[in-house]
Amino acid sequence: NNAKLRIAGFVHGTDGLGNQNFPPPKGKPIEQSAADFLIEQAKLHPGKVTVVALGPLTNIALAIQGDPEFSKNIGQIVLLGGAFLVNGNVNPASEANIFGDPDAADIVFTSGADVVAVGINVTHQVVFTDADREKLSRSDGKFAQYLCKILDVYFSYHHDAYNIKGVYLHDPATILAAVDPSLMTYTEGVVRVQTSGITKGLTILYNKQKR
């Protein structure tokens, strides 16, 4: 719904990978849209596909709008988004991914699909500390060195914005919820998203029940 693209270069670097200036990919983008791909895979494997969404929910909302059966066919949607009973990280009301396309988020939450939302009320409890990074930097592994380099900007942002000696592991915590949900506790209920006004992007949870 004409959501403005928001690039958080100040958090992740202008290239999204800590300003490491990696060469651009050589492959060409496929012609099929992300929404059509999701619809296709959900139809081919009904009830078996889990989508882990680590950004705004535009493509998933388009899949829901494009196929009335998508919400039934998809196994589960595990998303990084929302600030439940805590302040947001874009403004006091809103978390970044929901704020990026609140209309899409509300479509997803009200679709009837099995949705698990991992909000910043959870991810702010999962911290990779400066000491953890120092330990990682002593590794000779190429992947460890790669991670240390791309995390430079992310660590600097957290030091300045949150005054903490570490970074919040938003994406890994969300993936963890998909891979091993037993490691977290959950509150079941109905979620709606404020789509306009001063509280645009606010996530509201009703009917709280722990499970």
Active site residues: 170
Report yes or no: 168 and 120 within 8 Å, Cβ to Cβ: yes
**Residue that is written with structure tokens 């997803």 in the block:** 108
Phi and psi torsions of 206, nearest 5°: -115, 160
Q: How many CB atoms are located within 10 Å of the residue 16 CB?
A: 15
What single DSSP character describes residue 29? P
